[in-house]
């Protein structure tokens, strides 16, 4: 320890890349996990506010019965709200847009504070025909506070804009601006009819706010009303969808951070090796004076780990700041805990990752330096004489890497994904090593070239101590990750936006009442003659059990869990629906009577574990209905037509109140502006049928594309972290090779080589390495993106040329730029001092 500390007095020269690599990975892991834990603690702290009470009971298409309401009211004070989608129109019908409508009673909000631009907005809403709206609605309809809008069959004055809605996070995902009104105003609008898709939520605030009481109350409610079919949430789980998405995204970012740390590990190894090369004479002197090999190993291991702790400390400092920064930017979007930003579990996990990474990648070069003979060190032949480490060090390295992988998988929310991800990283390391070997093998087989720069460039690629493995390994992984994400994003955008199916509908119409269905179709024929109209009955139902196993206990695959979560749209049909083909079983007779039958989508059936002949119990309108799986069918979801996971035989819902869902597909006519045409149809239909919700498919796709864009931006920013680590490692690798470059340059200049010849040779060398690395990045990233798009998502895959060009340019800029920056100083070295060392 004494010798190690004395040597560190000379400064940290040569260790800046080492520190940056460790700090970058640790900052990413600690920052992401700290933010995730802060949001989680914030959701726990503000659970009552986010939910609007201690418990929320949500039913679809029906209000609670008097008995259910009395049971809940006896246990606490309650408030009721209705959520649905509707259309907001200008009174003259000149413009309209889809909205998220929320109607509340006079007791709302039970917990939290509603803030609006007008102080007495809540009282005005309850007193008369008034609404509070999201500011974006004013922009879309080009109106101001004080103007009127039409919703359903009534007109309402916009009396305020919404500044803060306390329980907004617990509501459904919004595709339109929010509009708040009273329950009395909802009745006046005439939107709620039998079969209308509306969710009713009763929130209750218990006298005693503790999780045991809340849990006991929920159990009592479910026991008293086993067929209620409601969805029950507590303040401890106010926004389950947000929690799931937060866990998934934080896991992805953590894995990207771990990738940056592992890629940085290559930089650690390079930095340690380069540092030990500068200490060759010191190590040789130690050994010549009788110091045992273990002494040398311990001196430099202590130095490396001390510097690693410095890098970890820098990373933890940045990671600690992340929740503070997140609180500023995410204020009002998600809750951030008010507790200290020091999220100890996240910081400890990042520290362990940093220590294990430093050990895993430093142990090998240290073990090699331990056994190099002093004579080789004095001759500056350490690189050529480095033996394989002793078996004990190889085993220790393997165990440390196993611990690193095990820790990452153990703490992941989805261990299968984490394991697959890390296995892919490991395979990429092996593959990159193979690629560098192939490049060097090909360089050795190149015939003798007449051009001196070309001959020097090719020789530098395959000579002993060449930079080829370091450059390919450091830059290849980051480029492959960027390429795969860019191709996935580009293909998704192309699939969703540019490649709409030719038979995709132009409009969806929701909540068409049974009595209005035929007049509605007649109106469509008048405003859009020659168009294709498809309509089906639609209800909402929740799967209660499959083969007597409750849905909450079914172990479904990740892709199928959504089928069992919450209520789903369902329908009935005498005939096999369009865009479907039978894969197993037979379809029922058109006049089927007897037991209830259901057809299940084949892909989702496989993920949930449903087979022909199974028994399914579904809760619809508060009633539990049992049906037998008669067949499985392949569904063409990508057609964007009307498709359902479950289609029942008509006798199942005989007499049940329901609405209709319809689509309109308009034939293309040359010279007709589709935007103007759609606007005319939208205006006429919404004016004639004010309670029908109209969704223009391209508008919905714009919303989806905007979300994909936001997600892609976040993912690319995370991927840039891995690329930054790759660039750091690349810079470190090129800097580490400068010692050998100095000797080569001096000898070549002594033999008559000009600076122009050497620069040309270096540019060609770095260009060849950059091009080879870019080609690997394109190949590996392209294969990964193809697998995700074609095999997992089932879409067609296209290799986008702009991504290929961008990748090649990035690789060449980094390799040539960093290479020339590092070698420019080499070209200016005086010959005499270097020649005296040879």
- pLDDT tens track for 543-572: 888 998 888 788 877 667 778 877 888 899
pLDDT of residue 140: 85
Nearest to 616 by CA among 603, 600, 629: 629
One domain, residues 253 and 150: no
- 709-737 burial, b for 16+ CB within 10 Å, e for fewer? eeebeebeebbbbbbbbbbbbbbbbbbbb
pLDDT of residue 740: 62
The tokens for 297 are 């190993």
Does residue 480 fall inside a structural domain?
yes
pLDDT band at 185 (very low <50, low <70, confident <90, very high): very high
Per-residue pLDDT reduced to its tens digit, 50-89 = 778 888 898 888 888 899 999 999 988 999 999 988 889 8
pTM exceeds 0.85, yes or no = no
What's the average model confidence in pLDDT over 432-450?
A: 86
In whole angstroms, what is the distance from residue 77 CA to residue 72 CA? 8
Give the strand pairing for 549-550 and 532-546: antiparallel
What's the average model confidence in pLDDT over 261-284?
A: 73
The CA-based angle 223-228-234, given to 5 degrees, is 70
What's the average model confidence in pLDDT over 474-481?
A: 76
Last residue of a domain, one of 665, 699, 733: 699
The yes-or-no verdict on residue 645 having pLDDT over 70 is: yes
The yes-or-no verdict on residue 10 having pLDDT over 70 is: no
Number of H helices, E strands in the chain: 27, 21
The CA-based angle 41-47-219, given to 5 degrees, is 115
Cβ proximity of 624 and 229 under 8 Å: yes
The tokens for 739 are 């010692």
The yes-or-no verdict on residue 704 having pLDDT over 80 is: no
Residues 6+ apart with CB under 8 A from 751: none
Of 176-190, 353-367, 371-385, where does the model show the most confidence? 176-190
One domain, residues 485 and 367: no
Nearest to 513 by CA among 789, 57, 196, 50: 196
- The torsion angles phi and psi of 503, rounded to 5 degrees, stand at -100, 15
One domain, residues 260 and 378: yes
Cβ proximity of 189 and 82 under 8 Å: no
The yes-or-no verdict on residue 597 having pLDDT over 90 is: yes
The yes-or-no verdict on residue 2 having pLDDT over 80 is: yes
Does residue 318 fall inside a structural domain?
yes
Residue 584: helix, strand or coil by DSSP? strand
Last residue of a domain, one of 182, 210, 237: 237
pLDDT of residue 629: 92
Residues above pLDDT 90, as percent of the chain: 8
Please give the sequence-ordered ranges of beta strands (E in DSSP) within 121-173, or none if there are none.
130-133, 148-151, 154-164
In whole angstroms, what is the distance from residue 794 CA to residue 796 CA? 7
- Cα torsion angle, 483, 487, 488, 489, sign: positive
pLDDT band at 832 (very low <50, low <70, confident <90, very high): low
One domain, residues 537 and 430: no
One domain, residues 80 and 168: yes
Does residue 753 fall inside a structural domain?
yes
Alpha helices in 128-239 (DSSP H): 135-141, 183-189, 211-224
Q: At which residue do the structure tokens 């798009």 appear?
A: 789
The larger pLDDT score, comparing residue 470 to residue 309, is at 309
Q: If you count them, how many residues does the chain have?
A: 838
Does residue 242 fall inside a structural domain?
no
Cβ proximity of 98 and 179 under 8 Å: no
Q: At which residue do the structure tokens 């504070």 appear?
A: 113
- The torsion angles phi and psi of 113, rounded to 5 degrees, stand at -130, 135
One domain, residues 645 and 747: no
pLDDT of residue 557: 76
The yes-or-no verdict on residue 338 having pLDDT over 60 is: no
Q: What is the mean pLDDT of the chain?
A: 80
Give the relative orientation of helices 697-736 and 468-493 as an angle to the nearest 10 degrees: 180
Q: Before 109, cis peptide (omega within 30)?
A: yes
Give the relative orientation of helices 468-493 and 801-827 as an angle to the nearest 10 degrees: 150
pLDDT band at 822 (very low <50, low <70, confident <90, very high): low
pLDDT of residue 631: 92
One domain, residues 798 and 654: no
The yes-or-no verdict on residue 283 having pLDDT over 90 is: no
pLDDT band at 581 (very low <50, low <70, confident <90, very high): confident
In whole angstroms, what is the distance from residue 268 CA to residue 539 CA? 60
Per-residue pLDDT reduced to its tens digit, 756-766 = 887 888 788 88
Nearest to 97 by CA among 161, 156, 178: 178
Residue 758: helix, strand or coil by DSSP? helix
pLDDT of residue 103: 92
One domain, residues 738 and 609: no
Give the strand pairing for 623-635 and 178-182: unpaired
Last residue of a domain, one of 354, 379, 413: 413
Does residue 736 fall inside a structural domain?
yes
The CA-based angle 810-813-816, given to 5 degrees, is 140
Residues 6+ apart with CB under 8 A from 533: 521, 524, 525, 662, 663, 664, 665
pLDDT of residue 286: 78
Q: Out of 109-113, 564-568, 715-719, 742-746, pick the least confident.
A: 715-719
Beta-bridge partner residues of 663: 508, 534
pLDDT of residue 173: 63
One domain, residues 556 and 693: yes
In whole angstroms, what is the distance from residue 770 CA to residue 727 CA? 12
In whole angstroms, what is the distance from residue 79 CA to residue 62 CA? 16
The larger pLDDT score, comparing residue 764 to residue 669, is at 764
How is residue 174 annotated by DSSP? P
HSE-CB at 256 with a 13 A cutoff on CA atoms is: 26
In whole angstroms, what is the distance from residue 777 CA to residue 768 CA? 14
How is residue 169 annotated by DSSP? G
Nearest to 637 by CA among 541, 451, 496: 496
Cβ proximity of 521 and 512 under 8 Å: no
The larger pLDDT score, comparing residue 639 to residue 531, is at 531
How is residue 790 annotated by DSSP? I
Domain total of the chain: 4
H or E element at residue 625: strand 623-635
Per-residue pLDDT reduced to its tens digit, 206-243 = 887 777 888 889 889 988 888 787 888 887 776 666 66
One domain, residues 57 and 204: yes
Does residue 566 fall inside a structural domain?
yes
Residue numbers of the domain that contains 391? 1-49+247-413
Cβ proximity of 682 and 696 under 8 Å: yes
Does residue 620 fall inside a structural domain?
yes
In whole angstroms, what is the distance from residue 323 CA to residue 339 CA? 10
- Burial class from Cβ neighbours inside 10 Å (0-12, 13-18, 19+) for residue 403 reads middle
Does residue 167 fall inside a structural domain?
yes
One domain, residues 652 and 532: yes
One domain, residues 418 and 489: yes
Cβ proximity of 696 and 441 under 8 Å: no
Residues 6+ apart with CB under 8 A from 79: 52, 53, 104, 105, 107, 108, 109, 110, 202, 203
**CA 442 from centre of chain:** 40
């Amino acid at each position: 320890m004494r010798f190690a500390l004395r040597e560190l007095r000379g400064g940290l020269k040569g260790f800046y890349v080492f520190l940056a690599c460790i700090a970058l990975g640790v900052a990413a892991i600690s920052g992401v996990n700290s933010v995730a834990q802060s949001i989680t603690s914030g959701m726990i702290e503000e659970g009552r506010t986010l939910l609007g009470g201690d418990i929320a009971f949500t039913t679809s298409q029906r209000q609670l019965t008097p008995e259910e309401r009395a049971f809940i009211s006896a246990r606490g004070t309650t408030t009721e709200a209705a959520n649905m989608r509707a259309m907001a129109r200008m009174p003259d019908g000149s413009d309209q847009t889809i909205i998220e409508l929320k109607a509340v009673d006079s007791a709302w909000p039970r917990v939290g504070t509603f803030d609006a631009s007008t102080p007495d907005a809540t009282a005005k809403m309850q007193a008369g025909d008034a609404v509070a709206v999201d500011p974006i609605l004013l922009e879309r309809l080009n109106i101001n506070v004080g103007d009127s809008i039409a919703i359903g069959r009534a007109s309402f004055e916009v009396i305020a804009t919404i500044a803060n809605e306390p329980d907004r996070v617990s509501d459904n995902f919004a595709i339109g601006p929010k509009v708040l009104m009273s329950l009395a105003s909802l009745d006046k609008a005439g939107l709620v009819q039998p079969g209308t898709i509306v969710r009713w939520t009763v929130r209750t605030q218990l006298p005693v706010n503790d999780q045991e009481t809340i849990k006991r109350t929920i159990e009592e409610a479910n026991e008293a009303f086993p067929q209620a079919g409601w969805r029950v949430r507590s303040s401890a789980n106010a926004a389950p969808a947000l929690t799931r998405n937060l866990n998934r995204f934080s896991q992805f970012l953590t894995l990207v951070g771990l990738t940056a740390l592992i890629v940085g590990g290559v930089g650690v190894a390079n930095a340690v090796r380069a540092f030990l090369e500068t200490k060759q004479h010191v190590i040789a002197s130690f050994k010549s004076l009788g110091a045992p090999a273990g002494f040398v190993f311990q001196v430099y291991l202590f130095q490396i780990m001390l510097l690693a702790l410095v890098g970890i400390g820098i990373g933890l400092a940045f990671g600690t700041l992340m929740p503070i920064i997140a609180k500023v930017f995410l204020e009002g979007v998600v809750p951030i805990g008010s507790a200290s930003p020091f999220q100890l579990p996240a910081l400890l996990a990042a520290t362990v990752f940093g220590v294990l990474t430093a050990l895993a990648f430093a142990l090998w070069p240290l073990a090699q330096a331990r056994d190099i003979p002093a004579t080789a060190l004095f001759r500056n032949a350490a690189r050529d004489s480095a033996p394989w480490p002793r078996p004990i060090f190889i085993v220790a390295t393997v165990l440390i890497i196993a611990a690193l992988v095990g820790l990452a998988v153990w703490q992941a929310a989805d261990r299968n994904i984490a394991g697959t991800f890390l296995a892919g990283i490991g395979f990429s390391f092996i593959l990159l090593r193979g690629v560098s070997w192939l490049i060097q093998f090909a360089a050795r087989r190149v015939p003798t070239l007449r051009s001196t720069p070309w001959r020097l460039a090719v020789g530098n690629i395959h000579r002993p101590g060449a930079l080829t493995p370091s450059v390919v390994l450091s830059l290849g992984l980051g480029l492959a990750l960027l390429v795969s994400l860019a191709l996935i994003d580009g293909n998704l955008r192309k699939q969703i936006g540019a490649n709409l199916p030719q038979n995709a509908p132009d409009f969806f119409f929701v909540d068409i009442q049974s009595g209005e269905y035929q007049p509605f179709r007649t109106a469509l024929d008048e405003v859009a003659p020659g168009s294709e109209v498809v309509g089906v009955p639609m209800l909402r139902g929740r799967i209660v059990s499959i083969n007597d196993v409750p849905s909450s206990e079914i172990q479904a695959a990740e892709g199928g869990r959504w089928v069992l979560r919450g209520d789903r749209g369902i329908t009935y049909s005498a005939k096999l629906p369009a865009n479907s083909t039978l894969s197993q079983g037979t379809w029922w007779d058109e006049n089927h009577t007897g037991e209830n039958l259901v057809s299940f989508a084949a892909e989702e059936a496989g993920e949930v574990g449903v087979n022909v002949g199974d028994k399914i119990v579904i809760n619809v309108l508060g009633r539990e209905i049992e049906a037998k799986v008669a067949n499985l069918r392949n569904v063409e979801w990508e057609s964007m037509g009307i498709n359902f996971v479950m289609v029942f035989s008509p006798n199942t819902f005989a007499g049940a109140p329901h609405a209709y869902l319809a689509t309109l597909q308009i034939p293309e006519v040359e010279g007709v502006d589709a935007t103007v045409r759609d606007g005319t149809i939208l205006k006429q239909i919404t004016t004639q049928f004010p309670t029908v919700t109209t969704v223009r498919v391209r508008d919905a796709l714009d919303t989806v594309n905007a979300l994909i864009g936001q997600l892609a931006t976040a993912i690319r920013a995370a991927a840039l972290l891995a690329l930054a680590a790759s660039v750091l490692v690349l810079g470190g690798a090129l800097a580490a090779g400068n010692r050998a470059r100095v000797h080569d340059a001096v000898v070549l200049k002594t033999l008559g080589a000009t600076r122009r010849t050497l620069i040309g040779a270096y540019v060609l060398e770095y260009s060849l390495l950059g091009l080879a690395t870019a080609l690997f990045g394109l190949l590996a990233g392209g294969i990964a993106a193809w697998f995700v798009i074609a095999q997992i998502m089932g879409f067609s895959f296209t290799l986008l040329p702009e991504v290929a060009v961008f990748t090649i340019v990035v690789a060449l800029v980094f390799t040539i730029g960093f290479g020339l920056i590092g070698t420019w100083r080499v070209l200016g070295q005086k010959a005499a001092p270097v020649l005296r060392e040879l």
